[in-house]
Structures are given as C-alpha cells and as structure tokens.
Amino acid sequence: MTIEKKIAVLKTPQALRDWHLQQIRDGKRIGFVPTMGALHDGHLSLVQKAKDHSDSVIASIFVNPTQFAPDEDFDSYPRTLDDDLEKLVSVGCAAAYCPVANDLYPEGNATKVYVEELSSILEGEHRPHFFGGVTNIVSRLFIHVAPDVAVFGEKDYQQLQIIKRMTKDLGMPIEVIGAETIRETDGLAMSSRNQYLSPDERKKAGNFAKALRDAATAIEAGKSISKAIKQAEKDIAKAGLGPINYVAVRDAETLEELGTDTLKQGVSARILTAAWMGKTRLIDNLPLKR
Ligand code: PAF
C-alpha cells in the first residue's frame, strides 16, 4: 500500500487548506505537532499527546533554515522523510504537512516574529539566531495549519515557554501543551542530534542526564541552588562534556533567576543545562518543586 493511502501527505498550502476544510466540516478538533523530521519516540509521544487532546492530528516536517546559524548543521541535519511518514502512520497521525521553504518564506518576505527578552537568555545567549528562527517558523505554521491545539516537547523547555508567550501575545486561538521528555534507558533525553554522538560519547552522555537529576534531587532536598549548580558543573565535566554553556535554575514560566539560596517552598522552577559532547551540543532540563 502506498504511503498516501495510510496518511494524508500534504505538500502544498492548498492541499493543507483542503484537508483543513474537511476536518472542520467533519466537526473535528485539530491537533498539531511541528517537527523537523528525523523522528524518534520523543516525537511520537507528542503525536500521542496531541491525539489525547484532539480528533485529528497533523504533524509538519520541515527543516527550518532560519533557526540554524551559518556554522551549524542545516545541510547535514538528518532528512528521513519516508521513515518519518511510516512512523507517523504507526501512531495514528492523520496527516503530514511537508511544505517547501518558499511556501513558508515567500520571495522577498520582510516580516519577523520575535519574543523579546525570553529569546535572548540561556539558549538565546549561545544561539542568538535560534529563537527568532523558531518563532518565525512556528507563527507561520500556526497560520497555515490553524490547529486547535499544538504540542511541543519539554525537552526544548525554553522553546515551549517562548511559543506559549508568542501565542498569547498574538492572540492566537491555539492551546499550546508541553509533553514530558522521553528518555533512553540511561536517562539521556531523546533528540534527533543524538545520532551525531560516537559510541564512546553516547556511553558517557548518560552521565549528563544523571548530573542534572542529582542536582534536581539535591535542590528539592534543600541544598542551596549555587552549591547544586557547582556540583552539577563538576559532574558534567567529569562525564567528559565541555565547554558547559550553562547550568541554571529559573522560574518555570518566566525563566527569571531565582537567586542562589535554597529554593523557596511552593515555587515552580526548572533546572536547565547545555553542554558540548565533542561536536554535539546536548541540552536537558528537569522540573523542580519543594
Ligand atoms: O523543536 C523543533 O523540532 C523545532 O524547533 C520546531 C518547533 C519544529 C520549529 O522548527
């Protein structure tokens, strides 16, 4: 059976509009999972979550050039469309939107969407181009797909908060939901970029997740934030990663700093980190509450 018989493969904005109209006629609530392809179980869990909150799920597959800096991996980013479509079928995704760059960034376009402040801290300090690229593409995809609900992984926690803020600021009638990070058995957060790790780096990478988990446990038990961060930095370096871009404890929604003392009771916080393992940049985060 051809793939088109198992899932609606929508290659143009017009095909997407026709599909969308049919869903509305059928009274369906539309769930949306934007992706850059190279799908793994983490993405598939987002589709599952979108299914829990809607009647018909569409995923987009588009490697967005504007969120890569010139020295990053846009050209080598894994492109595995046939596999991706089969994986989407396996979790009951109804449609895949696979546009080309010109559909989303028409010739000569001059419009940009940018969330001030939140986009320039943490990841934004180290990848200044990144969140501007993400909000540009996600705002465009939201307009094209017009979903009722959209699901993003907590693995990219800052991205999730920025998209929530963008959606609220622009008054988009879309519910943005976060889905828990899916991990390998050694705790490493799943990511399309994990395939860049050599076998030796991959073995060590489990200790990156462990360092973060240990810091989270210590903070929740009352250890000072500054001491827990220092210990995590030591553990991450010992695991063979470096340079470490940041280990930070922030308010879970605003990502504002929370000081260096013990985490206050009742505050929802997040511990976030980014560090290099050889040529691969790993990020991770965990919730914190006392
Ligand atoms: O998280 C991702 O895969 C990307 O940043 C997204 C949201 C699909 C935008 O290109």
Å from CA of 152 to ligand 1 middle: 8
At 264, list the tokens. Answer: 């206050």
Measure the CA–CA gap between 141 and 189, rounded to whole angstroms. 26
Q: Which of 190, 159, 197, 183 is nearest to 276 (CA)?
A: 197
Q: 146 and 23 in contact (C-beta within 8 Å)?
A: no
Contact 288, 269 (CB under 8 A): yes
Q: C-alpha angle with apex 146: 158 to 17, nearest 5 degrees?
A: 140
pLDDT in tens, the chain (290 residues): 999 999 999 999 999 999 999 999 999 999 999 999 999 999 999 999 999 999 999 999 999 999 999 999 999 999 999 999 999 999 999 999 999 999 999 999 999 999 999 999 999 999 999 999 999 999 999 999 999 999 999 999 999 999 999 999 999 999 999 999 999 999 999 999 999 999 999 999 999 999 999 999 999 999 999 999 999 999 999 999 999 999 999 999 999 999 999 999 999 999 999 999 999 999 999 999 99
Distance in Å, CA 262 to ligand 1 centroid: 34
- Ligand 1: nearest atom to the Cα of 64: 10
What is the pLDDT at residue 146? 98
CA angle at residue 35 from 93 to 206, to 5 degrees?
A: 105
Read off the tokens for 80: 């595995």
Q: Tell me the C-alpha distance between 185 and 167, whole Å.
A: 34
Contact 43, 33 (CB under 8 A): yes
Q: Is the model's pTM score more than 0.95?
A: yes
Structure token pair of residue 46: 């987002």
**Closest Cα to atom 6 of ligand 1:** 35
Counting ligand 1 atoms within 8 A of each CB, the residue from 32, 36, 61 with the most, and so the one to mutate, is: 36
Beta-bridge mates of residue 81: none
Spatial separation of the C-alpha atoms in residues 17 and 89, rounded to whole Å: 21
Predicted pLDDT of residue 108: 97
Domains observed in the chain:
8-179 (3.40.50.620), 192-288 (3.30.1300.10)
Kindly state the greatest CA–CA separation across the chain. 60
- d(CA 218, ligand 1 centre) in Å: 32
20 included as an active-site residue: no
- Token readout for 13 is 């904005």
